[in-house]
Chain A
Amino acid sequence: MSSDWNKDRKIKFTVQDPCQIVRKGEGDVVADDLRFVIKSIVGEENVIEMTPNKSNNYCCGGGGGFLQSGFTEERRAYGKIKYDQIIKTGADYCITGCHNCHAQVHDIGHHYGGSYGTVHVWTLICLSLGILGPNERAYLGDDLKDVNVFHPETALY
């Protein structure tokens, strides 16, 4: 894996530590593993941390069934802390390692008018390896839609 694709672009990333995997699971060890991977694929200088993070991270509000509970207004109020944290980093993207986080971080960004993107780690690993096709970029913004495209001739739209 390489971060060369981002050497000159300097696109910035922050990371949402999933409560389930980090605080409730393996602890800071797995949070550090996640950062090892992320730094390898986007470049260490392009990772901007939220504070607090790792085991002390704030939940984004996507867990516990909140996304399906019908309490949409309250869920977004809950997520305002996370939104403000992400905005404060100035990052172009928030990487989420959990499906519920992905849905919630994406939704609060949209709701509060943020311009950051929300991405799965798998997307960025494949991007850095040069094997991410044109139709596997649903969560990449215009700044990354045309970067390192694998088989661009297969684009559907």
Chain B
Amino acid sequence: MSESTIKIKGKKQSSFLDKCKEIIPGGGNLNLCLTCGACASGCPATGLADMDPRKFLRMCAMGMDEEATKSPWVWMCTMCQRCIYVCPMKIDIPQLVYNARATWAREDRPSGIMKSCDMALRNDSNSAMGTAPDDFIFVVEDVLEEYKEAQPEFKDMVAPIDKEGAFFFINQNSREPVTEPDEMVPLWKILNLAGVDWTYGSRGWAAENYCMFLADDDCWERVTRVSAEQADSLGCKVFLNTE
């Protein structure tokens, strides 16, 4: 027996892959890879950071936990799920990527994503740009008044905020109210012409959720609950995310 022979010492220690199998609903089929490469051949992230989805999964399967999870590639996969769609075994590689993100110390995660998440935690807007509820309300009311006057055919147009019992609770990406408010208007016009019963919320009006991308589960949940509770408290029936 050569000295380089790998000796298995008793029961294998719990690995990153094993932990993910416990967390992912249904287990994610993580042990079923046939190494066919359908995932990698149709993934736009293949080759970035010298990684691809098959390689990532194989590295995890072989216990190369540190090399795989700490690859910057986990921030270059968008978790678009095309790999699952084309996989004959429906292996949930994106969930593996998400959980790899979560193994990073928070301060080591991409600062742009972290700052966007932290901004959303500053107030009840959930906005990655940090915009306060009062500022959102001001912009919506101001733009609405301006258009009602400039385009009299829409003098009865509404853009309600916190309307009790509205059917749809609609949220909006911060970019519109903050940097290009005129872009909100076409959506309002369509909703008004179609007679849709809708409302924004003063709390949780922002649609983006960078805490999710940051793989910060506690903050993700907090942000999501602000929106969901606002929709519930108003008695809305459908939550419509425009992201």
Q: What residues make up the interface of A, taking CB atoms closer than 8 Å to B?
A: 19-20, 23-24, 55-59, 61-66, 68-71, 74-75, 77-79, 81-82, 98-100, 103, 120, 122-123, 125-126, 129, 131-133, 135-136, 138, 150-151, 154
Contacts and interface: CB of A to CB of B under 8 A. Distances in A.
Interface residues of B, number: 47
A126 B81 CA distance: 33
A81 B44 CA distance: 7
Contact of A125 (B48, B150, B190): B190
B76 A71 contact: yes
A58 B78 CA distance: 11
A71 B147 CA distance: 39
B80 A135 contact: no
B183 A63 contact: no
Contacts of A66: 75-76, 78
A59 B85 contact: no
5 contacts: A23-B85, A59-B80, A99-B243, A125-B190, A151-B150
A125 B194 CA distance: 12
Contacts of B59: none
B187 interface: yes
B76 A74 contact: yes
A82 B44 CA distance: 9
Interface in B169-190: 173, 175, 180, 182-183, 185-187, 189-190
Contact of A99 (B79, B150, B214, B242): B242
A70 B110 CA distance: 7
B210 interface: yes
A66 B187 CA distance: 26
Contact of A69 (B82, B112, B208): B112
Given A19-B82, A81-B44, A65 B190 contact: no
Contacts of B147: 133
A135 B182 contact: yes
A136 B185 contact: yes
B77 interface: yes
Contacts, number: 125
A68 B129 CA distance: 12
B110 A69 contact: yes
Contacts of B115: 68
B77 A64 contact: yes
A74 B46 CA distance: 11
A68 B110 contact: yes
Nearest to B86: A56
Given A68-B116, A126-B189, A78 B80 contact: no
B111 interface: yes
Given A65-B214, A82-B44, A133-B151, A70 B81 contact: no
A136 B45 CA distance: 35
Nearest to B75: A69
Nearest to A67: B112
Contact of B110 (A55, A71, A138): A71
A136 B186 CA distance: 7
Interface string B22-46: 0000000000000000000010110
What 8 A-B pairs come out closest when comparing CB atoms? A65-B213, A59-B80, A64-B78, A68-B112, A63-B78, A122-B186, A19-B80, A69-B110
Contacts of A99: 173, 175, 207-208, 242-243
A10 to B, nearest CB: 23
Give the residue among B78, B82, B147, B190 with the most A Cβ atoms within 10 A: B78
Nearest to B152: A151
A56 B85 contact: yes
